[in-house]
Amino acid sequence: MTAYRIIALMIIAAGLTLVPWYALQDSFYAFKWIAKFGGKDFAPAIIQIATFSKIWLILLPAMLLMTTIGFLGFTVSRALNAEADSSRRATVLSVKGLAFNLAYGLFSFGFSRLLAAYPDQGAGTALRGALFWQVPAFALVTLMLFTWAGFLQKRRA
């Protein structure tokens, strides 16, 4: 994955989590919105989804998440393809696919257990509470993986 794609994904993630989602009365650069940050009209998309029931906004973070997962899978497969001997390449890539599927299944199981931990709350409230931390946590884990991969590449060179 090129550095430009990584930078673009980081900018999108920052936009979803750090700046107001809807248009402001005053200019963005007036910075008056900082005093009311997190309010209904001044919250970023992630808070709009989790707190103010703007569920349709989940499409953009979901697309970002799926794009990042796709790029991560492609990058890992490409690196493994380059490193593995041709006689073992199919086995290595199959194990990679198995590991991704197991991770996805365990994450789904953990998410369902998290939702089950909110039995007294309505389904919408529990879902918003569970989704609130996911995009930033996934972005952090992805950033750590790319940092680690960059470190390994520099060490080999």
pLDDT tens digits for 130-148?
Answer: 777 776 777 788 788 888 8
Neighbours of 117 (CB within 10 A): 11
> What pLDDT shows up at residue 60?
73
Q: Is the pLDDT of residue 22 over 80?
A: no
Q: What is the mean pLDDT of the chain?
A: 78
Q: Does residue 119 have a pLDDT over 70? A: yes
Share of the chain above pLDDT 70, in %: 83
CB distance 77 to 93 below 8 Å? yes
pLDDT for res 67: 83
Long-range contacts of 126-133 (CB under 8 A, 24+ apart): 128/49, 128/50, 128/51, 128/53, 129/50, 131/49, 131/50, 131/58, 132/46, 132/47, 132/49, 132/50, 132/51
Residue 37 neighbours by CB under 8 Å, 6+ apart: 20, 43
Token pair recorded at residue 109 = 């199981």
Question: If pLDDT is split at 50, 70 and 90, which confidence band does 25 have?
Answer: low
In one-letter notation, the amino acid at residue 30 is A
Predicted local confidence at residue 44, as pLDDT:
81
- What pLDDT, on a 0 to 100 scale, did the predictor assign at position 146? 84
Range picked from 23-27, 63-67, 99-103, 131-135 for highest mean pLDDT: 99-103
Q: How confident is the model at residue 24 (pLDDT cuts 50, 70, 90)?
A: low
Statement: residue 107 has pLDDT above 60: yes
